[in-house]
């Protein structure tokens, strides 16, 4: 499982992780905490479903929310940066999207999800278009977020990391 691979990587490097979740509603944190020993490296998460929480807790700018919308690269990157700063972690993942079945628009249909992965001062974000029902979109988004972070850690290893 991807969360076990991530656990090994974070543990070996002595890194910590936090999550900022909107459309996944805590599912990433659930997957992480299903791994025994995750309390050693997973410090917590914020389910920021409303824009108010994105702004007031995670520090997402009102300007970015207004200009780009909650489901955007700018917002998801600020979510990752905000939760990492808030919980003092080395790494973070963030999701913002439209899981459905409603809420989609022609520009951002159901299944549209922005995901950001952060490792220290490095951040990567990607736009995904997932298929399926609400639970399938949430599961695919969660898996993609964990994979993105694992891939980012491989690209930018910390000292002492294989």
Give the pLDDT of residue 156: 63
Collapsed DSSP state (helix, strand, coil) of residue 28: helix
Residue 86 exposed, middle or buried by CB count within 10 Å (0-12, 13-18, 19+): middle
Domain limits of the chain? 2-155
CB count within 10 Å of CB 91 equals: 27
Give the pLDDT of residue 100: 95
| Structure tokens given for 125 | 């974000």
Give the pLDDT of residue 157: 60
| Nearest residue to 28 via CA among 74, 68, 83 | 83
| Structure tokens given for 155 | 């690209």
Collapsed DSSP state (helix, strand, coil) of residue 2: helix
Give the pLDDT of residue 109: 97
| Nearest residue to 84 via CA among 3, 17, 11, 27 | 17
Q: Report the chain (162 residues): mean pLDDT per 10 consecutive residues.
A: 94 95 98 97 97 98 98 98 98 98 94 97 97 98 98 73 55
Give the pLDDT of residue 98: 97
User: Can you give the pTM of this predicted structure?
Assistant: 0.95
- Top CATH class, 2-155: alpha beta
CB count within 10 Å of CB 52 equals: 10
Residues 73/79, Cβ–Cβ less than 8 Å? no
Compute the Cα dihedral for 141, 147, 149, 151 and give only its sign: negative
């Amino acid at each position: 499982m991807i969360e076990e691979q991530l656990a090994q990587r974070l543990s070996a490097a002595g890194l910590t992780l936090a999550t900022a979740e909107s459309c996944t509603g805590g599912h990433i944190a659930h997957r992480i905490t299903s791994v025994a020993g995750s309390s050693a490296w997973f410090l917590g998460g914020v389910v920021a479903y409303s824009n108010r929480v994105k702004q007031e807790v995670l520090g997402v700018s009102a300007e970015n929310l207004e200009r780009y919308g909650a489901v955007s690269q700018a917002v998801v990157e600020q979510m990752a940066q905000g939760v990492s700063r808030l919980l003092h972690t080395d790494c973070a993942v963030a999701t913002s999207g439209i899981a459905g079945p409603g809420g989609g628009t022609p520009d951002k249909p159901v299944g549209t999800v922005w995901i950001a992965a952060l490792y220290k001062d490095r951040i990567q974000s990607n736009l995904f278009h997932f298929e399926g029902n609400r639970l399938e979109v949430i599961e695919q988004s969660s898996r993609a977020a964990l994979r993105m972070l694992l891939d980012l850690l491989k690209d930018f290893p910390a000292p002492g990391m294989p």
